[in-house]
Structure 1
Amino acid sequence: MAESDEQQQRQQPTTSLRNRRTTVEDAESDSDVATTTATSVSSTKLSSSSSTSKNDPEEDKKKKATAAQIHKRIAQQQGKKNSQVRNLVISLIIASIGVLLKSAFEKFIFAGREISIEQTVGLQGNCFKTAYIPGPADIEISDLDQLAFVSSDDYSWKKESRFFHRPSSKTAKNGGIYILALNHKNGSPKELKLKSFTSDDFHPAGMSLYQFQDEKTHERRTRLFVINHSHKGDIVEIFDYSRDANTLTLVKSVNSDLFVTPKDIVAIDQDRFYLTNHHAMSNKYGRVVEDVTGTAMGTVVYYNGEKTHKVLQSLNNPYGIAGSPDGKQIYVSSFMDRVVHVYNTTEDIAQGQLEHDVDIWVGNHVDNLSVDRHTGDIYVASHPSYSTYLRHKLGYEPQSPSHVVKIEKLAPENYIPQESSMGNYYFFPKPELPSLKWEVKDLFYSNGEDISASTVAAYWNNDLILGSSSSHHLLRCSLRLDQ
């Protein structure tokens, strides 16, 4: 038994060694299997790659499908961006339309200040029609001659004109300058003959009268500055008036590229003048864009006897222009702003610069201006409703209201004190406002039956004389003493 146990003990390490050898052999065999497996896998990959190389069209289809999906995603993203940009543009357009509509409502439809009809003369029966001439657009009073100079044109060319303020081509009938004796209530107007005037294209509009003493003959002379809306362009014609011959002799014609849409003119001596351009675009469609958008592009041009240049810019439809009797101030009416601008003149004759003084609120759309040479008061023709006025001008409304105010120049002892509506605050004291040097008074109101859309009102000897480019007569009214 002992011997058998010893034999078993001797045999046990050999068994374990064998087991170790078996493990090594197994490992070597396993490595061989792994190598074989790897080789089979590589061969499988090679075979698969070779099979793939054999199936190129299908793989191309897959690649194309993948590329198409990518392009589709890119197109969708780009479409989203385009839709965002489009929505932004649409929103901006809608907002712009809203602003334009608001601007149009405020400027064209919204009523101005209330008119004290009981204080006016339009419906009191003391007005009568006189001087039956077509389209009397402007009136100038000569106290020396006791005459009213009236520019006249039938304006039949406006419907076909692309400029609206002047004809597009030569029209068959010209306008003219008429005189009306003021000391005869029912006097007939007489057309003045034009001498040394070779053009057959005469359409007068705004005018200005300047009287001076001739240095050579020492005679009193009357010079008339007239805006001529010729179809070839806007020209300022300067005439000398002869009372004996009832003629206007041409002195000079002034052309300038700065005469874009001239409306009114004021002479400050025998050679120099100021002129208003109520729009920057001569085309009527451009004018509509300016009006609707509320863009202030009007100008005042100065002619110093040799050349022209702009002295005022960015005005909102400057229509009328006039000067004070002493020549120290220039008045410009802003049609859309409903005010009359007051400017002080300077001593620089060559430049003719104007310095802003004050704005006088009228409340209605103001047109031409005229000044009383004795008192310095300003007479303003205005339009209470621009929408009605515009429809009337375009032929869609038979008549439009007329309104005339007097801007009375006060003496220093009659200045009107102003008080601010703001309260007193610790850091911000109540502001002190300057006293008013002007007072606005209503003189005339009419619904348009006696005269429609009056463009000018002139004063002489307690009489108010009204004209309109859309009427075929003048209206003369006697004012009450309190007016």
Structure 2
Amino acid sequence: MACGDKTIRSQVFYPPINLITDTTQLIRDTPYIYDINNDKLIPLELKNFPPEEDFLLCGMGIYEDEKNEPNKLYVFFTNHKKTGSVIEIFEHILNTNELVHLSTVKNDLIITPNDVVPVSKDEFYVTNDHGHETGFWREFGDITRRPWGNVVFHSSITNTTEIVADSIRYPNGITSNWDNSKIYVGTSAGGELLIYDRKSNNKLHLSESLFTGLSIDNISVDEQTGEIYCAATQKPLAALVYMRDRTGKAPPQPAAIIKVSNNTAEDKFYGIKYSQKIIFEDNGSILPSVSIATADRQRNVMLLGTFRGDGIARCELESLIEIN
């Protein structure tokens, strides 16, 4: 997980919310491993990463090749440097406390990266949540919910970068299923979970658009069941006020977790492929906002994160499912 200074993210510099007040201060976020068994956070040390470079994180994704490299993870971050937003790629050896920097991907098509999902150690999809980095048109797009976002695919193997899905209302979180044949995108302004089929040429074909009515942030997939968990805001306007608050006095965002599953009800015969259910709601008393929910079914744990808060929340997964 990536942890940052909430004061910096609310008052100093955080491009994902169009906050750019101080461009001189060096910003260095810290990635952590959360040890579920021992309920312990372990900071990771960056290796081979330039000490003069910013490390301001938003989205992240992990690629693993259990067959060929069983003890290694490749970790991808969206890094909002003052010189421009990029994708950073690191290598992590299991049971160590280090992240070794491998490469930085910078491209004119990656303009407002929010989240990233790798499909190999050299290839990834990334969401651009806005069509403009700063200025009037970015603000205009927010207020009017313009479909100016997109999804970009990059391959370091072929050295190509291209837009593979376009005209999306604030594409936020992105992830994939177990074999990377499907790509899931949550939209904050559209309130939709977009389900794409990934083609052999890495193009995306929209196969399903599931309207939730809530503002979706990040999404995750249960590796055992294939169920999709969407962290969402119940009141988008309140969320906008909260994100833009520079005083720390704005009320927290009412949040929800939506579980999306294969539809087993009778209406599946009428073409309704997926069912959705809210399994968790919070008025802000647990976390000031919820930006991610991820399940560990083996340990019966669901973890909730926030982009601006003092920590993470831990819940019993089965209790959430049984209650709802």
TM-score after normalising by structure 1: 0.61
Q: Is 1:174 aligned with 2:28?
A: yes
State percent identity of aligned pairs: 26
Of 280, 284, 287, 2:131 maps to 280
Measured in 1, the distance between the counterparts of 2:241 and 2:310 equals: 18
Summarize deviations over 1:248-307 as a string: whole Å, max 9, x none.
011111111111111111111111000001101111543220022232100101002222
* 1:334–1:379 Cα change, 3 Å: same
Larger radius of gyration: 1
Q: Residue 242 of structure 2 contacts residue 250 of structure 2 at CA under 8 Å; is this kept in 1?
A: yes
CA drift of 1:409 comes to 2.7
CA drift of 1:477 comes to 1.1
Of 358, 382, 386, 2:236 maps to 386
* 1:162–1:224 Cα change, 3 Å: closer
Measured in 1, the distance between the counterparts of 2:45 and 2:179 equals: 32
Q: Which has the higher helix share?
A: 1
* 1:165–1:325 Cα change, 3 Å: farther
Quote the residue 2:200 is aligned against: 347
Amino acid at match of 2:280: F
* 1:376–1:330 Cα change, 3 Å: same
* 1:254–1:453 Cα change, 3 Å: same
CA drift of 1:332 comes to 0.8
Of 244, 248, 258, 2:109 maps to 258
How many correspondences in the alignment? Answer: 310
Structure 2: stretches of 5+ with no match in the other structure: none
Amino acid at match of 1:409: N
Amino acid at match of 2:175: A
Measured in 1, the distance between the counterparts of 2:75 and 2:13 equals: 27
* 1:219–1:453 Cα change, 3 Å: closer
Deviates more, 1:279-288 or 1:373-382: 279-288
Structure 1: stretches of 5+ with no match in the other structure: 1-149, 419-432
Quote the residue 2:40 is aligned against: 188
Q: Residue 262 of structure 2 contacts residue 273 of structure 2 at CA under 8 Å; is this kept in 1?
A: yes
Quote the residue 1:38 is aligned against: none
CA drift of 1:235 comes to 1.2
Q: Is 1:402 aligned with 2:240?
A: no
Measured in 1, the distance between the counterparts of 2:221 and 2:307 equals: 20
RCO (CA 8 Å, sep 6+): is it higher in 1 or 2?
1
Q: Is 1:331 aligned with 2:159?
A: no
CA drift of 1:202 comes to 0.7
Q: Residue 10 of structure 2 contacts residue 243 of structure 2 at CA under 8 Å; is this kept in 1?
A: no
CA drift of 1:199 comes to 4.0
Of 137, 153, 169, 2:4 maps to 153
Please state whether the residue corresponding to 2:59 is helix, strand or coil.
Answer: strand
Measured in 2, the distance between the counterparts of 1:222 and 1:321 equals: 19
* 1:202–1:282 Cα change, 3 Å: same
Q: Residue 344 of structure 1 contacts residue 357 of structure 1 at CA under 8 Å; is this kept in 2?
A: yes
* 1:376–1:157 Cα change, 3 Å: closer
Summarize deviations over 1:331-363 as a string: whole Å, max 9, x none.
111111111011101111xxx100110111211
The 5-angstrom pairing of residues 284-299 of structure 1 reads 285-299=136-150
* 1:273–1:166 Cα change, 3 Å: farther
Q: Residue 298 of structure 1 contacts residue 318 of structure 1 at CA under 8 Å; is this kept in 2?
A: yes
* 1:416–1:452 Cα change, 3 Å: farther
The 5-angstrom pairing of residues 175-324 of structure 1 reads 175-184=29-38, 187-200=39-52, 201-213=54-66, 215=68, 219-283=70-134, 285-305=136-156, 306-324=159-177
Measured in 1, the distance between the counterparts of 2:13 and 2:108 equals: 20
Q: Which has the higher strand share?
A: 2
